[in-house]
Amino acid sequence: MEILEKLHQEHEEVKGLLAKMCDTEDARTRSELFSEFKTALVKHARAEEKALYDPIIKSEGKDAAMDAREGYVEHEVADKLVEKLSRARNKGSEEWTAGIMVLKEILEHHIEEEEDEMFSSAREQFDDGEREKMEEKFEKEKSKVKA
Ligand SMILES: [Fe+2]
Ligand SMILES: [Fe+2]
């Protein structure tokens, strides 16, 4: 498998979990879904930075590198909100609902930009074989992340 296909699969998983969390008000269900979501998201983001963003920053033109740098910042923003939602004791509250809805918007927008802009740059810059190697790197980085 090549990296972009893998990243797309994981984006769909993350979007699915976000939709499920927004669909229920049950605190226990949300809590279970959230821990699954948090692990998936954190592993995905850290490995994506190493396996996709860093190679783009190193070898691409200025615009593509800027997209990757913006991606890093968007990950940071999402991480902060994830930590806040993770600490909240009552995941059934309206405040938590507002937080998860904003996180869903941020991440959906982030994923859309990633798949539109960064994926096209990566397809131009890296051939099939390179993108397969990048997928191996992605898996290796994921296994190192403690989440
Ligand atoms: Fe991603
Ligand atoms: Fe990302």
Question: CA-to-CA distance for 12 and 2, rounded, in angstroms?
Answer: 16
Q: Give the whole-number percent of the chain exceeding pLDDT 70.
A: 99
Task: Using the predicted structure, report yes or no on whether residue 133 has a pLDDT greater than 70.
Answer: yes
Quote the number of domains for the chain.
1
* Centre of ligand 2 from the C-alpha of residue 91, in Å: 25
* Centre of ligand 2 from the C-alpha of residue 64, in Å: 14
Ligand index nearest the alpha carbon of residue 75 = 2
Is residue 82 a contact partner of residue 42, using CB atoms and an 8 Å limit? yes
Question: CA-to-CA distance for 134 and 59, rounded, in angstroms?
Answer: 14
Q: What is the pLDDT, as a whole number, of residue 63?
A: 86
Question: CA-to-CA distance for 119 and 98, rounded, in angstroms?
Answer: 30
Confidence of residue 60 (pLDDT cuts 50, 70, 90): low
* Centre of ligand 1 from the C-alpha of residue 111, in Å: 6
Q: Which residue has the tokens 């509250």?
A: 93
Q: What is the pLDDT, as a whole number, of residue 145?
A: 96
Interval 61-103: pLDDT, tens:
788 899 999 999 999 999 999 999 999 999 999 999 999 999 9
* CATH number of the domain enclosing 22: 1.20.120.520
* Centre of ligand 2 from the C-alpha of residue 54, in Å: 12
* Centre of ligand 2 from the C-alpha of residue 94, in Å: 27
* Centre of ligand 2 from the C-alpha of residue 105, in Å: 13
Task: Using the predicted structure, report yes or no on whether residue 2 has a pLDDT greater than 80.
Answer: yes
Is residue 80 a contact partner of residue 107, using CB atoms and an 8 Å limit? no
* Centre of ligand 2 from the C-alpha of residue 47, in Å: 9
Q: How many CA atoms lie within 13 A of 108 on its CB side?
A: 11
Residues with CB under 5 A from ligand 1 (ion): 48
The whole-chain average pLDDT of the chain stands at 96
**Boundaries of domain holding 17:** 3-144
First CA to last CA distance, the chain: 24
Is residue 147 a contact partner of residue 43, using CB atoms and an 8 Å limit? yes
Question: CA-to-CA distance for 112 and 114, rounded, in angstroms?
Answer: 5
